[in-house]
Structure 1
Amino acid sequence: MRVLLLFLSAVAILGLAAEAAAQAPVAAPAGRKLRVVTRNLEPFSFEKDGRRVGYAAELWDQLAREARLDYEVHVVQTAQEVIDALKNKTADVGVGAISVTSKREEVIDFSQPFYESGLQVLVSGASGSFADNLMALVKNLFNVELIGAFALLMVTMFIISHLVWRYEHKVNSDMWPKDYKAGMWESFWWTISTLLVGGADNKGPVGVGGRIVAIIWMLLSIVLVSLLTASFTTTLTINTLKGDINGPGDLPGRKVATVKGSTAESWLAAKGARVETFATITEGVLALKAEDVDAVVYDAPVLQYEARKLNDEKLQMVGPVFERQNYAFALQQDSTLRESLNQALLKLTEQGVGNELRKKYFGEDH
């Protein structure tokens, strides 16, 4: 009986000890604080009023409190430095807009994703002012496509005018004088009138040859007017409002800015763009404003945040979000923190913490 009581007491003591251990803070190895490495990238992690704020930074802080983790923050310059610190085991956790990729998964681990993102294109288009839009309109009137179309139209009109004069001046010299210069002037007037309004008042071919040419020109005019209208509308609308880059398909061969060491840099290089790298995305956007580059490609939420912060009507996001990717907290390979962090992250998600941060930093509420 005494043995049984001693056994039950031992089980109870072990149970209490296990419960106490579960409720105690999860300490880093050797009793030290967790080493958290991050970089300044608005709106995910940056310094403001002496505090580390941002979507990822604030989510991590709540996650650490939920998992009862004690930590200290170290700031580095690039995403690659974050990965290297975890790979070399000089840091325990990476916090920020860190994309989950297969290449990174080979050397480090990740928590469950906390934000779905992707790349997008930022360009500098026309502003909303009348003067700027008018200048952009005039500039686009002189593009190669429209000039070529207009030149082809003029050549076609000259040929038609010549043929009509050739047949008509012999049988209708009152309307088409035999003098070539005077006859061509009258013939060209008829040709352009037919193109624009369907004919000229009190003037028309009467000979068989002239009428055959006239019928051909009338039918051709219908097609030409439709094609020219579509060409002018499409070219002027797209080029005036957004320039000639309207999505990722227009980037090969163009000068595009992004952040050095980012996934965007690798994607752009693979697609044949002329990549200009910068230490921060802010520098890349300023280069776009200065017309030093044709576009900026980077993580969509970061670009949207930068464009909204600068409050410049010329900065426009174009095309769809592509190369979709997830952000997660980065960990050392085979980290023992992964399970506890995932459980705490799921709990915070169920509590709506992620939605609150989205609304705070991106104006999103979903």
Structure 2
Amino acid sequence: MRLLLPILLVASFFSFVTQAAAQAPGTKLRVATRNLEPFSFEKDERRVGYAAELWEQLARETGVEYEVQVVNTAADIIEALKNKTADVGVGAISVTAKREESIDFSQPFYESGLQILTSGGGGSFGDSMLSLIKNLFNLELIGMFLLLMVTMLIISHLVWRYEHKVNGDQWPESYKAGLWESFWWTISTLLVGGADNKGPVGVGGRIIAIVWMLLSIVLVSLLTASFTTTLTVNTLKGDINGPGDLPGKKVATVTGSTTVDWLNRKGAKVEPFATVADCVMALKEGKVDAVVYDAPVVQYEAGKLNDDKLQMVGQMFERQNYAFALQQDSPLREKLNQALLKLSEQGVGNELRKKYFGEDQ
């Protein structure tokens, strides 16, 4: 008990000194960031981007001065905070349970998530026609066509069977010649509602004809719907349409990001690159099957290329939040959170979203 009081006093003094040092006039916070458009990057000798400009306003609001050190990856930012060589991490830094074990975060300022970028669709007229022709030879359409042919042959056989005995001029006695004439009548009835100067005259033939005419209406509707749906879906759809299609595929993402671990768990063949721009270029050149990374960053980089073949597919998944990273038990946390709330109420976040993503969110 006698030892406990001195220990508490020392701890309180250390906390007071730390907080005072962090807020002392003339001292500059060490801000670690990385170049990742559109959140933090260099332009016209000035650091800009959604996170960089939000931090700049936050620093003005709280009255702190800072100096920026640029590192290569998000992992380097986290390591700098853990080693206490940086005070704040600025950028698209995801809040995760693993990171929370060794550092602190401010309240989130942006909700994001992973999304998939693929290369498909668009392109030249020749590419579109080739894709259309390939889609004509899918199992569903072939199955529908074969079923229609079998039905037509059955109807043709029945009409010939009843008609060749009473209408030999139009349905010859010979089975081969008679079936051909009967098939001509059957297909004409299906497509245009009948054949000129040709039709059953016997009772049995006319009953079959009535059945076939009614059935033709249904078959044409079903075939048209199936044909249109299959072509539309298969033309729009590629090999990768969601996270479930990624196992076994070559997928590009940024080295050292949390996405690498996620892709490895899903069984994808991970191809790491230094930047998102490198990932997108690898996809454009056909070196990988897809790019998976934070949705706003991938959309931004893909949009810069203005390539119709590059498509974001599916919805965002593995949703996550971006926040400013801090040292563990940082005395800055409460002060920054209060200022963040104030800026949010002033609409600063919406202004930056409109500036970098083209719309209010």
The interval holding the TM-score normalised by the smaller chain is 0.7 to 0.9
Aligned counterparts of 1:339 and 1:215: Cα–Cα separation in 2? 82
What is the aligned counterpart of 1:319 among 314, 318, 329? 314
2:346 corresponding residue in structure 1:
351
Alpha-carbon distance, 1:89 to partner = 3.4
SS of the residue 2:39 aligns to: coil
Letter of the structure 1 residue corresponding to residue 358 of structure 2 = G
Aligned AA (1:145): E
User: Contact 1:257/1:275 (CA < 8 Å) preserved in 2?
Assistant: yes
Are 1:157 and 2:139 matched, yes or no? no
2:299 aligns to what? 304
AA in 2 matched with 1:341: L
8 Å contact kept, 1:27–1:34: no
Cα deviation code 1:276-301 (max 9, x no counterpart): 43332222222332334343332221
| 1:7 paired residue number | none
User: Which of 335, 341, 344 lines up with 2:336 in the alignment?
Assistant: 341
Match of residue 222 from structure 1? 217
Shift of 1:116: 1.6
Residue 85 to residue 247, structure 1, CA distance change in 2 (3 Å): same
Distance in 1, Cα, partners of 2:72 & 2:157: 71
| Alignment match, 1:55 | 50
C-alpha distance in 2 between matches for 1:316 and 1:33 = 43
- Tell me the CA shift for residue 263 of structure 1: 4.0
Question: Where do 1:133-172 residues align within 5 Å?
Answer: 133-172=128-167
The yes-or-no answer on 1:84 pairing with 2:82 is no
Offset of 1:132 from its aligned partner? 4.5
Match of 2:192 in 1: 197
- Is the aligned partner of 1:71 residue 2:59? no
Structure 1 residue 187 displacement after superposition = 2.1
1: CA distance, partners of 2:170 / 2:204: 15
Alpha-carbon spacing, 1:117–1:203, altered in 2? closer, same or farther (3 Å): same
Equivalent residue, structure 2, for 1:13: none
CA shift at 1:339, angstroms? 1.0
Equivalenced residue count is: 344
2:11 aligned with 1:26 = no
SS at match of 2:359: coil
Q: Deviations over 1:84-128 (max 9, x none)?
A: 333343432221111222232233211011112222333333327
Question: Do the aligned partners of residues 118 and 89 (structure 1) sit closer, same or farther apart at CA in structure 2, a change above 3 Å counting?
Answer: same
How far apart in 1 are the matches of 2:249 and 2:155? 42
Q: Which residue identity lines up with residue 113 of structure 2 in the other structure?
A: G
Report the counterpart of residue 8 of structure 2 in structure 1.
none
Output the CA distance in 1 between the equivalents of 2:303 and 2:92. Answer: 18
Name the CA distance, whole Å, in 2 between partners of 1:153 and 1:27.
Answer: 84
Q: 1:102 aligns with which of 77, 97, 104?
A: 97
Deviation at 1:159, TM superposition (A): 3.8
Indicate the larger mover: 37-46 or 285-294. 285-294
> How many Å separate the matches in 2 of 1:201 and 1:300?
61
Listed as ranges, the matches of 1:3-22 within 5 Å are: none
Q: Deviation digits for residues 216-250 of structure 1, max 9, x if unmatched?
A: 54444333323322222223223334545444455
Which of 228, 245, 260 is the matching residue for 1:233? 228
SS of the equivalent of 2:67 reads strand
For the residues of structure 1 that align with 2:204 and 2:263, how far apart are their CA atoms? Answer: 59
TM-score, normalised to structure 1, is 0.80
Q: Which one-letter code corresponds to 1:46 in the other structure?
A: F
Instruction: Identify unmatched segments of 5+ residues in structure 2.
Output: 1-18
Matches within 5 A, 1:126-137: 126-127=121-122, 130-137=125-132
Give the secondary structure class of the aligned counterpart of 1:37.
strand
Quickly say closer, same or farther: Cα 1:224–1:323, change in 2 above 3 A: farther
